[in-house]
Amino acid sequence: MFGVRTSLRVGTAATKSGMQRAQLSTAAAPASGGSSLSQRMGSFFAGMGVASAACGYAVQAELAESNVRFDKTLRTLEARVVALERK
């Protein structure tokens, strides 16, 4: 029926190219069981948890950086106001 070329060399004259042809089975594959719905849902929610933790960390880091910039700008403005009041 359908053949798959393998890398095994055959020394017979039966094959023109010297490659052995393996036959594919048309029989149904045995049931492996696979993952149940609860396992898939558990994996999905675990992935969501990891993603939300990473997102939360990124937001926290951005907020901390923004606070530092804001504080620096606020101190600069306060210094300018103090300098204007002294004039």
Which tens digits make up the pLDDT trace of 15-61?
555 566 667 767 766 667 788 999 999 999 999 999 999 999 999 99
Q: Which residues contact 72 (CB under 8 A, 6 or more apart)?
A: none
Q: How far apart are the first and last CA of the chain?
A: 98
Instruction: Report if pTM > 0.85.
Output: no
Q: Which residues contact 11 (CB under 8 A, 6 or more apart)?
A: 18
pLDDT in tens, 61-75: 999 999 999 999 999
Nearest-angstrom CA–CA distance, 10 and 13: 8
